[in-house]
Amino acid sequence: MDTDTVARLRAAIGRLSRQLNASATHEGLTPSQASALGLIGGRGPLSLAELAKLESLNPTMVSRIVGRLDELGLIRRRQNPADLRAAWVEITPDGRQMTERIRDARGQVVSACLDRLDTADRDAITAALPALEHLVEELKDVTATSDA
Protein backbone atom coordinates (compact mmCIF):
# COMPACT_ATOMS: atom_id res chain seq x y z
CA MET A 1 0.00 0.00 0.00
CA ASP A 2 1.42 3.40 -0.90
CA THR A 3 2.43 6.00 1.68
CA ASP A 4 -0.44 8.39 0.88
CA THR A 5 -3.05 5.66 1.34
CA VAL A 6 -1.52 4.59 4.65
CA ALA A 7 -1.52 8.22 5.80
CA ARG A 8 -5.17 8.64 4.79
CA LEU A 9 -6.12 5.45 6.66
CA ARG A 10 -4.26 6.53 9.80
CA ALA A 11 -5.87 9.97 9.65
CA ALA A 12 -9.37 8.55 9.16
CA ILE A 13 -8.95 6.10 12.04
CA GLY A 14 -7.58 8.84 14.28
CA ARG A 15 -10.44 11.21 13.48
CA LEU A 16 -13.01 8.45 14.05
CA SER A 17 -11.43 7.62 17.38
CA ARG A 18 -11.34 11.24 18.55
CA GLN A 19 -14.94 11.86 17.47
CA LEU A 20 -16.18 8.72 19.18
CA ASN A 21 -14.24 9.58 22.34
CA ALA A 22 -15.74 13.07 22.27
CA SER A 23 -19.22 11.54 22.18
CA ALA A 24 -18.74 10.53 25.85
CA THR A 25 -18.57 14.10 27.12
CA HIS A 26 -22.34 14.09 27.77
CA GLU A 27 -21.53 11.85 30.75
CA GLY A 28 -19.24 14.51 32.21
CA LEU A 29 -16.04 12.66 31.36
CA THR A 30 -13.17 13.85 29.25
CA PRO A 31 -12.33 11.67 26.25
CA SER A 32 -9.27 10.34 28.12
CA GLN A 33 -11.34 9.48 31.20
CA ALA A 34 -13.96 7.71 29.08
CA SER A 35 -11.28 5.76 27.25
CA ALA A 36 -9.55 4.70 30.47
CA LEU A 37 -12.87 3.71 32.06
CA GLY A 38 -13.71 1.58 29.03
CA LEU A 39 -10.34 -0.16 29.18
CA ILE A 40 -10.64 -0.81 32.91
CA GLY A 41 -14.13 -2.21 32.38
CA GLY A 42 -13.15 -4.33 29.43
CA ARG A 43 -9.74 -5.59 30.52
CA GLY A 44 -9.56 -4.91 34.22
CA PRO A 45 -8.50 -5.09 36.84
CA LEU A 46 -5.39 -3.36 35.55
CA SER A 47 -2.27 -2.01 37.15
CA LEU A 48 -1.60 1.69 36.64
CA ALA A 49 1.45 0.77 34.55
CA GLU A 50 -0.67 -1.43 32.26
CA LEU A 51 -3.25 1.31 31.91
CA ALA A 52 -0.55 3.86 31.06
CA LYS A 53 0.85 1.54 28.41
CA LEU A 54 -2.54 0.76 26.88
CA GLU A 55 -3.51 4.42 26.78
CA SER A 56 -0.04 5.59 25.69
CA LEU A 57 -0.02 8.11 28.53
CA ASN A 58 2.60 9.06 31.07
CA PRO A 59 2.12 7.83 34.66
CA THR A 60 1.30 11.32 35.97
CA MET A 61 -1.59 11.71 33.53
CA VAL A 62 -2.88 8.21 34.31
CA SER A 63 -2.73 9.06 38.02
CA ARG A 64 -4.90 12.14 37.44
CA ILE A 65 -7.39 10.22 35.31
CA VAL A 66 -7.61 7.37 37.83
CA GLY A 67 -7.95 9.86 40.68
CA ARG A 68 -10.91 11.53 39.02
CA LEU A 69 -12.61 8.25 38.09
CA ASP A 70 -12.11 7.09 41.69
CA GLU A 71 -13.59 10.35 43.05
CA LEU A 72 -16.64 9.81 40.85
CA GLY A 73 -17.06 6.27 42.20
CA LEU A 74 -16.60 4.74 38.73
CA ILE A 75 -13.52 2.71 39.65
CA ARG A 76 -11.84 1.62 42.85
CA ARG A 77 -8.20 1.12 43.65
CA ARG A 78 -6.91 -1.91 45.45
CA GLN A 79 -3.48 -3.17 46.35
CA ASN A 80 -1.82 -5.80 44.23
CA PRO A 81 -1.53 -8.79 46.58
CA ALA A 82 1.72 -9.83 44.86
CA ASP A 83 3.29 -6.36 45.22
CA LEU A 84 1.82 -4.19 47.98
CA ARG A 85 3.56 -1.13 46.50
CA ALA A 86 1.52 -1.41 43.30
CA ALA A 87 -2.13 -0.51 42.84
CA TRP A 88 -4.75 -2.11 40.64
CA VAL A 89 -7.88 -0.40 39.42
CA GLU A 90 -11.20 -2.10 38.76
CA ILE A 91 -14.56 -0.86 37.60
CA THR A 92 -17.48 -0.39 40.00
CA PRO A 93 -21.13 -1.14 39.24
CA ASP A 94 -21.68 2.61 38.62
CA GLY A 95 -18.69 2.62 36.28
CA ARG A 96 -20.06 -0.40 34.41
CA GLN A 97 -23.42 1.35 33.98
CA MET A 98 -21.68 4.44 32.64
CA THR A 99 -19.61 2.45 30.15
CA GLU A 100 -22.81 0.82 28.90
CA ARG A 101 -24.45 4.24 28.45
CA ILE A 102 -21.36 5.53 26.62
CA ARG A 103 -21.25 2.43 24.39
CA ASP A 104 -24.97 2.80 23.61
CA ALA A 105 -24.59 6.51 22.83
CA ARG A 106 -21.61 5.85 20.56
CA GLY A 107 -23.55 3.10 18.81
CA GLN A 108 -26.46 5.47 18.21
CA VAL A 109 -24.11 8.15 16.83
CA VAL A 110 -22.43 5.70 14.44
CA SER A 111 -25.79 4.22 13.39
CA ALA A 112 -27.25 7.67 12.69
CA CYS A 113 -24.20 8.62 10.63
CA LEU A 114 -24.28 5.35 8.69
CA ASP A 115 -27.97 5.96 7.92
CA ARG A 116 -26.97 9.25 6.27
CA LEU A 117 -24.52 7.53 3.91
CA ASP A 118 -25.59 6.09 0.59
CA THR A 119 -25.97 2.34 0.19
CA ALA A 120 -22.66 1.97 -1.67
CA ASP A 121 -20.69 3.60 1.17
CA ARG A 122 -22.49 1.52 3.82
CA ASP A 123 -21.80 -1.65 1.83
CA ALA A 124 -18.13 -0.68 1.41
CA ILE A 125 -17.77 -0.12 5.16
CA THR A 126 -19.46 -3.45 5.91
CA ALA A 127 -17.21 -5.23 3.42
CA ALA A 128 -14.12 -3.61 4.98
CA LEU A 129 -14.94 -4.72 8.55
CA PRO A 130 -13.13 -8.10 8.43
CA ALA A 131 -10.00 -6.44 7.02
CA LEU A 132 -10.13 -3.70 9.66
CA GLU A 133 -10.55 -6.32 12.40
CA HIS A 134 -7.49 -8.14 11.05
CA LEU A 135 -5.60 -4.84 11.00
CA VAL A 136 -6.40 -4.40 14.71
CA GLU A 137 -4.93 -7.84 15.46
CA GLU A 138 -1.81 -7.08 13.39
CA LEU A 139 -1.35 -3.78 15.22
CA LYS A 140 -1.59 -5.62 18.55
CA ASP A 141 1.06 -8.08 17.39
CA VAL A 142 3.40 -5.36 16.12
CA THR A 143 2.94 -3.33 19.30
CA ALA A 144 3.57 -6.37 21.51
CA THR A 145 6.69 -7.25 19.52
CA SER A 146 8.09 -3.72 19.61
CA ASP A 147 7.53 -3.53 23.40
CA ALA A 148 9.36 -6.81 24.04
Q: Would you tell me the crossing angle of helices 48-55 and 59-71 to the nearest 10 degrees?
A: 110
Supply the Cα-derived Rg of the chain in whole angstroms.
18
Q: How confident is the model at residue 136 (pLDDT cuts 50, 70, 90)?
A: confident
- Asked whether residue 145 carries a pLDDT value surpassing 60, the answer given is yes
pLDDT of residue 5: 94
Selection from 61, 55, 89, 57 nearest residue 75 by Cα: 89
Q: How confident is the model at residue 144 (pLDDT cuts 50, 70, 90)?
A: low
Q: Give the Cα separation of 56 and 72 in Å (integer).
A: 23
- Asked whether residue 148 carries a pLDDT value surpassing 80, the answer given is no
Per-residue pLDDT tens digits for 64-109: 999 999 999 999 998 877 777 778 999 999 999 999 999 998 888 8
CA geometry: angle at 13 spanning 12 and 16, to 5°?
A: 85
- Asked whether residue 9 carries a pLDDT value surpassing 90, the answer given is yes
- Tell me the fold of 3-116: Arc Repressor Mutant, subunit A (1.10.10)
pLDDT of residue 14: 86
Q: Dump strand ranges (E) for the chain.
A: 46-47, 75-80, 83-91
Domain ranges of the chain: 3-116
Per-residue pLDDT tens digits for 40-63: 999 979 999 899 998 889 989 999
Selection from 27, 87, 95 nearest residue 59 by Cα: 87
Cβ-based neighbours of 51, under 8 Å, separated by 6 or more: 36, 39, 40, 57, 62, 66, 89
Q: How confident is the model at residue 6 (pLDDT cuts 50, 70, 90)?
A: very high
pLDDT of residue 140: 78
* Burial (Cβ within 10 Å: 0-12, 13-18, ≥19) of residue 118: exposed
Cβ-based neighbours of 24, under 8 Å, separated by 6 or more: 31, 34, 102, 105, 106
Peptide bond into 81 cis (omega under 30): no
